[in-house]
Amino acid sequence: METPTQRTKRILAMSLRNQDDSSEPRALIIGEDLHKTYYLGRTELRVLRGVTVAIEAGALVAITGASGSGKSTLLHVLSGLDVPQRGQVYYRNDPLFEPEGARVIPVGRDSDGSVVDRRGMEKQRGASYSAMQVFESRRNEMRNRRFGFVFQFYHLLPEFDVLENVMLPHMVGSTTASWLNGRSAAQARALGLLERVGLRERLKHRPNELSGGERQRVSIARALMNQPEILFADEPTGNLDGKTGRAIFDLLKELNEGGQTIVMVTHDRELAHEANRTVNLVDGQMDTNE
């Protein structure tokens, strides 16, 4: 039977270029044989069809492909925002999802708009509810502390000013006591991040008082608030004009050159070519011709 170490080396050999098999694996995240299907009424949409990919430490990886190829779905599964029906994601060799058959999977929306999560809820023999809770709790911790997220449409809270939006991940991940005790340090970090993204003078502005590029810079600062190991960016330049999008990408490259691991979905081939590595999807599968 294949050991976890052997499995890791096999996956790395499939997905990383110029990787020496005798060296220690450098991958932070490995997605193995990922399958994801959505349902809309009676329509079945197979979005991921057996994708295997590894993300190494310090990389800037661009996920590309035509509209509907599964780019965003792959990013959401790798980051624990969505749950695959089949396959597994390993973060530092630890599985992110429950065993297959024991996963509660929101797979789409019914014809009336209600969320469909009945498929994939089969009971795994010997899998207790408390055991499943361990996986969910771990994913919550990863999404708050280990992973940072940047989205195309920013998702800033309109009632919060710039500084409050950036501090939000720290607030969410803290108890009342730890928040009160660590507020000054958190505020100092948020100020430093805003200075780094060029928004030190916009602290008290609300999102509706900012340009699109400024809002995206706020969202990047927010994503970095808890010092994540991996930054996941879903079309971070897709809602911006060419010049502003270029400036946002240059900021991401600067962060990467400082050691930040970044996984970015983009439809912009020119930007993708500047990444360390490109993962191209075609109809939910890795493009083997790349």
The two structure tokens encoding residue 238: 């897709």
**Predicted confidence (pLDDT) at residue 273 exceeds the cutoff of 90:** yes
Domain containing residue 238:
4-286
Q: How confident is the model at residue 116 (pLDDT cuts 50, 70, 90)?
A: low
> Rounded CA gap, 73 and 232, in Å?
12
The two structure tokens encoding residue 11: 């996956």
**Predicted confidence (pLDDT) at residue 87 exceeds the cutoff of 80:** yes
**Predicted confidence (pLDDT) at residue 118 exceeds the cutoff of 50:** no
Average pLDDT on 24-39 reads 86
Outline where DSSP puts E strands in 217-260.
Answer: 230-234
Looking at residue 22, its pLDDT comes to 39
Q: Which residue has the higher pLDDT, 102 or 3?
A: 102
Average pLDDT on 48-65 reads 96
> pLDDT per residue over 214-233, tens digit each?
999 999 999 999 999 999 99
Q: What type of residue sits at position 129?
A: Y
> Rounded CA gap, 145 and 173, in Å?
8
> Rounded CA gap, 272 and 288, in Å?
17
Looking at residue 129, its pLDDT comes to 62
> Rounded CA gap, 12 and 27, in Å?
7
CB 184, CB 268: distance < 8 Å = no
> Rounded CA gap, 171 and 178, in Å?
9
Mean pLDDT, the chain, rounded, equals 85
Least confident interval from 4-8, 199-203, 239-243, 247-251: 4-8
Looking at residue 119, its pLDDT comes to 47
CB atoms within 10 A of CB 276: 13
Least confident interval from 17-31, 150-164, 175-189, 261-275: 17-31
Average pLDDT on 110-128 reads 49
Identify the helix (H) or strand (E) that includes residue 213: helix 212-223
Q: Which residue has the higher pLDDT, 239 or 264?
A: 264
**Predicted confidence (pLDDT) at residue 137 exceeds the cutoff of 50:** yes
Average pLDDT on 162-173 reads 92
- Beta strands 108-109 and 27-40 are parallel
- Beta strands 277-282 and 261-265 are unpaired
Q: How confident is the model at residue 290 (pLDDT cuts 50, 70, 90)?
A: low
Q: Is the pTM of this model over 0.75?
A: yes
**Predicted confidence (pLDDT) at residue 110 exceeds the cutoff of 90:** no
Our count of domains for the chain comes to: 1
Q: Which residue has the higher pLDDT, 184 or 19?
A: 184
Looking at residue 109, its pLDDT comes to 55
CB 54, CB 91: distance < 8 Å = no
Q: Which residue has the higher pLDDT, 122 or 112?
A: 112
Q: What is the CATH number of the domain that holds 64?
A: 3.40.50.300
Looking at residue 193, its pLDDT comes to 95
Looking at residue 17, its pLDDT comes to 41
**Predicted confidence (pLDDT) at residue 239 exceeds the cutoff of 70:** yes
Q: Which residue has the tokens 């295997």?
A: 52
Mapped onto helix, strand or coil, the DSSP state of residue 191 is helix
**Predicted confidence (pLDDT) at residue 14 exceeds the cutoff of 80:** no
CB 173, CB 148: distance < 8 Å = no
Helices (H), 33-160: 71-78, 129-141
Looking at residue 176, its pLDDT comes to 82
> Rounded CA gap, 209 and 180, in Å?
29
CB 138, CB 96: distance < 8 Å = yes
> Rounded CA gap, 267 and 230, in Å?
20
CB 223, CB 149: distance < 8 Å = yes
